[in-house]
């Protein structure tokens, strides 16, 4: 097997074992294989032979009186702020790690079984993305969610490796590549070579932190309370740079006046948004610089040539690529369909699932 085949590229991480082969051979009949990217904001699936499943918000609704979960995904998210006090809207992941185990299992079960395959699926085999460097407890939490949905086999794949495969670079990895995943709950930075992940960094600077900062700025500057969704919409509309020539400089939102208690509409400027989110962006830039400093010099030149690849929903922040290029001095490019790259990569890795060691063995 040549050095540059995708399987070889990722097999180092997975310690391919032949002991599973019979089980895998039997297991590959009558099961569905699914790539899973479970994120703080969204869960995205890639079902083998079917492709991407429309992402669902990583949100569930629970009735505290009956102790039952009763809604998930975008439907549950839309209930936020509109439910009686006995109903709780829960995000089972915070800062990209599972904080509500039962909730995460319920969410995964619903998305895998109900939303797409209408309950027809039994004992799927999963390849699940995990942030690089995640601790053992968190890996276990993901595996337990997989067990709870009856997964027959589960393989954990480091997100940067999934991203490389998702971008079609797994089979032909360049000498040095930097991938920055700007997610809803965290930012993941990794440098990869054809031998795997060389340096990685995880930080809690995130899209939802930016939304909170926008919400705070609007409250302080205009004395108006807005919701998280409105804050996110302002961030998406106005982006990272208020001096961009193209696109709107001002966006309207509605909220509640702190002074009068009445509903009001206001126009928020791109400068307001930049003021709110810049401290978070600058933390990310500092982390990128730190990772570059920790990168072996032999890989730096190719990173400069290939540029920094931006993935995750936050990569769609208007002007982020230009800002990173300017501040870091290395060109940054937004990947195609940046929010789905990890799930597509986990989906591509399904081709090799028979050869991967079952991570569920680590639970025993």
Ligand X SMILES: Nc1ncnc2c1ncn2[C@@H]1O[C@H](COP(=O)(O)OP(=O)(O)OP(=O)(O)O)[C@@H](O)[C@H]1O
Interface ranges with ligand X (CB under 6 A): 39-42, 58, 96, 183-186, 206-208, 232, 235-236, 312-314, 316-317, 339
Q: Who contacts 84 (Cβ-Cβ below 8 Å, separation ≥6)?
A: none
- Name the binder of 316 from ligand X, Mg ion, none, CB < 5-8 A by kind: ligand X
From CA 19, how far away is CA 101, in angstroms rounded? Answer: 30
Least distance CB 287 / ligand X (angstroms): 14
Least distance CB 185 / ligand X (angstroms): 4
Least distance CB 313 / ligand X (angstroms): 2
Question: What is the biggest distance separating any 2 CA atoms in the chain, rounded to whole angstroms?
Answer: 71
- Name the binder of 354 from ligand X, Mg ion, none, CB < 5-8 A by kind: none
- Name the binder of 73 from ligand X, Mg ion, none, CB < 5-8 A by kind: none
Specify the residue, 159 or 230, whose C-beta has the smaller distance to Mg ion: 159
Residue 183 in the binding site for Mg ion (CB under 5 A): yes
Specify the residue, 167 or 241, whose C-beta has the smaller distance to Mg ion: 167
Show contacts with Mg ion in window 313-352 (CB under 5 A): none
> Do β-strands 87-90 and 51-57 pair in parallel, antiparallel, or remain unpaired?
unpaired
Specify the residue, 71 or 134, whose C-beta has the smaller distance to ligand X: 134
Specify the residue, 237 or 328, whose C-beta has the smaller distance to ligand X: 237
Whether the CB-CB separation of 34 and 47 falls below 8 Å is answered with yes
Residue with tokens 């290029």: 325
Least distance CB 18 / ligand X (angstroms): 33
Calculated CA dihedral for residues 118, 123, 128, 133, nearest 10 degrees: 140
Find the binder of Mg ion among 27, 35, 39, 319 (CB under 5 A).
39
Least distance CB 87 / ligand X (angstroms): 23
- Name the binder of 154 from Mg ion, ligand X, none, CB < 5-8 A by kind: none
- Name the binder of 173 from ligand X, Mg ion, none, CB < 5-8 A by kind: none
- Name the binder of 236 from Mg ion, ligand X, none, CB < 5-8 A by kind: ligand X
Q: Which listed range, 72-80, 181-189, 193-201, 207-215, lies at the site for Mg ion (CB under 5 A)?
A: 181-189
List contacts with Mg ion (CB under 5 A).
Answer: 39, 183
């Amino acid at each position: 097997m040549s050095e540059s085949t995708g399987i070889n590229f990722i097999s180092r991480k997975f310690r391919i074992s032949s002991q599973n082969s019979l089980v895998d051979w039997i297991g590959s009949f009558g099961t569905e294989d699914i790539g899973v990217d479970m994120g703080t904001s969204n869960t995205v699936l890639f079902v083998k032979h079917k492709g991407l499943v429309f992402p669902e918000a990583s949100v569930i609704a629970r009735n505290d009186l009956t102790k039952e979960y009763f809604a998930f995904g975008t439907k549950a998210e839309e209930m936020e702020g509109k439910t009686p006090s006995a109903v709780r809207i829960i995000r089972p992941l915070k800062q990209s790690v599972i904080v509500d185990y039962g909730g995460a299992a319920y969410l995964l079960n619903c998305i895998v079984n109900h939303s797409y395959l209408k309950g027809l699926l039994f004992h799927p085999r999963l390849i699940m993305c995990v942030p690089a460097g995640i601790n053992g407890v968190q890996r276990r939490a993901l595996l337990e969610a997989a067990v709870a949905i009856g997964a027959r086999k589960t393989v954990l794949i480091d997100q940067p490796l999934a991203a490389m495969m998702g971008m079609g670079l797994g089979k032909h990895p360049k000498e040095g590549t930097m991938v920055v995943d700007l997610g809803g709950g965290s930012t993941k930075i990794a440098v990869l070579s054809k031998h795997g992940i060389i340096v990685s960094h995880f930080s809690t600077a995130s899209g939802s932190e930016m939304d909170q900062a926008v919400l705070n700025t609007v409250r302080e500057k205009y004395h108006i309370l807005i919701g998280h969704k409105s804050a996110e919409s302002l961030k998406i509309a106005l982006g990272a740079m208020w001096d961009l020539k193209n696109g709107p400089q001002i966006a309207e939102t509605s909220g509640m006046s702190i002074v009068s208690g009445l509903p009001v509409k206001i126009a928020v400027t791109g400068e307001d948004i930049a003021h709110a989110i810049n401290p978070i962006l600058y933390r990310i830039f500092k982390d990128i610089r730190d990772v570059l400093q920790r990168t072996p010099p032999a890989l730096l030149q190719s990173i400069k040539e290939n540029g920094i690849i931006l993935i995750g929903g936050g990569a769609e922040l208007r002007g982020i690529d230009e800002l990173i290029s300017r501040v870091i001095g290395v060109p940054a490019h937004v990947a195609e369909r940046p929010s789905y790259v990890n799930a597509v990569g986990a989906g591509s890795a399904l081709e090799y699932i028979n050869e991967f060691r079952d991570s569920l063995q680590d639970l025993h």
